[in-house]
Structure 1
Amino acid sequence: MQTKAVLFDLDGTLLDTAGDMGAAANHVIQGLGLPPLSDDIIRSTTSDGSYALLQAGIHAALIEQLGLEQLRRQMLDYYALNLCVHTRPYRGIPAVIDWLDARRIPWGIVTNKPSALTLPLLASLPQFARCGVTVSADTLPRKKPHPDPLLYAADCLTVAPGHCLYIGDHQRDVEAGRAAGMATAVAAWGYIAADAVLPLWQADHIIDSVQDFGRWLEDTFDTNC
């Protein structure tokens, strides 16, 4: 089927958020007298979210004693006040967005980030003002890897799921996209764990860089025409 719309994951696909997510996790971790997470651990764990970042730096016994939800709330409270200190679109992403907008190709964002963080973050980045739909972790009762968020996004864009491409940097993104009947792509420039075997994710495409993705879009839509 022809691709007529593009849906993006957020963290590790459109935005490099690891610096601010890591700083929020380390705020909690170092507050407990523990050593901070390294940049490598932060970058390979950010796409797994706040729970994974905290569990990477706090041993299980202490988490059980203090409560993971309480620690997560402390992390997210700090993060909410420091959403866009280091966060930036990946190099080349603004050009990709401009290219889609210039050709009136619908695009949107489907993320497992809560809306209380997603919406103010995107509002601080004018490149994303023309986003056709934003689906966050709490927009619907179920989040990725369930297909509902992607099906909802396609419906909002009035594009059939089979005509959508979903690109993300986590296996659950591929699982959600496949379950929704969409073409899928791995953003290999994102927060990929060192031991990840990307072909095993069974995505339709593995794309190494944003620049490669831009070229792929041009070729794909030229072919569609």
Structure 2
Amino acid sequence: MGKKDKNIKFKAVIFDLDGTLVNSLQDIADAMNTVLKSYNYPTHSYEKHQSFIGSGIRSLVSKSLPLAHNDEQQVERCLHAMIEVYRDNCTNKTTPYDGIIELLDNLVSRDIKLSVLSNKADELTKKITHALFPNYFDPVIGLTSELLKKPNPFTVIEIAKNLGIKAEEIIYVGDTGIDMQTATNANMYAVGVLWGYRPKEELVANGAQYILSHPLDIMKLI
């Protein structure tokens, strides 16, 4: 779906991380369930956790907690606990999706600049990306402030400036409606993926200009 302006040559691709480059669902869910168990709270299935992902770890923690224990102080306590557990286990089961490494090699061979922007905490975004994709991405940026959380386009626009590339010459790839909003807000080309955590309907409703069924499909745009 979607058409690109034939006059535009894309020079960079910025990727979301979770649900786009890597399947990190099990590690995220395992860490959160470990914290929930420590408080004798109900745990959640991988499928349920999938619906919690996309707006950062704080949001995931809040959605995971029982309503009766969802006050700000408890969210903060569980957030710190979850990050502690997850930090040590964030690459246990997390792997690149099929076709991602091949796609990155194809893009690099065409001198396309590659970057990562995630709503995951900056420290964890960098740890996972550098562990699984050494030497592919620069810069790699995660969340440092709730004010900068996607779909706020500030950080992705800063990436474009640092790369020296116009926003309209950049593809932003993600698996959620928030990613599509981010791309649209930054005047970048919004590309949604079907192998992630959200359905096609959400991607289209939030501005996806192109939908990928397989990572290498993006080469049709390059």
Same fold per superposition (TM over 0.5) = yes
Which of 138, 143, 146 does residue 152 from structure 2 map onto? 146
Q: Which residue of 2 aligns with 1:96?
A: 103
Within 1, Cα distance between the matches of 2:199 and 2:39?
26
The Cα shift of 1:24 comes to 0.8
Within 1, Cα distance between the matches of 2:161 and 2:140?
12
Give the letter aligned to residue 75 of structure 2: L
Q: Which residue of 2 aligns with 1:39?
A: 46
Identical counterparts, % of pairs:
26
Q: Which moved more, 1:132-141 or 1:184-193?
A: 132-141
Tell whether the 8 Å contact from 1:22 to 1:46 is kept in structure 2 after alignment.
Answer: no
Matches within 5 A, 1:7-86: 7-64=14-71, 67-86=74-93
The answer on 1:178 being equivalent to 2:180 is no
The answer on 1:207 being equivalent to 2:212 is yes
The change in CA–CA distance for 1:198 and 1:63 in structure 2 (over 3 A counts) is same
Runs of at least 4 residues of structure 1 off by over 6 A? none
Which of 151, 157, 161 does residue 155 from structure 1 map onto? 161
Give the letter aligned to residue 205 of structure 1: Y
Long gaps (5+) in structure 2: 1-7
**Given the two structures, how large is their TM-score scaled by the length of structure 1?**
0.87
Give the letter aligned to residue 207 of structure 2: Q
**Given the two structures, how large is their TM-score scaled by the length of structure 2?**
0.88
The Cα shift of 1:47 comes to 2.1
Within 2, Cα distance between the matches of 1:21 and 1:140?
19
The Cα shift of 1:169 comes to 1.1
Tell whether the 8 Å contact from 2:22 to 2:94 is kept in structure 1 after alignment.
Answer: yes
Which of 11, 14, 21 does residue 4 from structure 1 map onto? 11
Which of 130, 134, 137 does residue 140 from structure 2 map onto? 134
Give the letter aligned to residue 108 of structure 1: S
Tell whether the 8 Å contact from 1:5 to 1:107 is kept in structure 2 after alignment.
Answer: yes
Give the letter aligned to residue 220 of structure 1: L
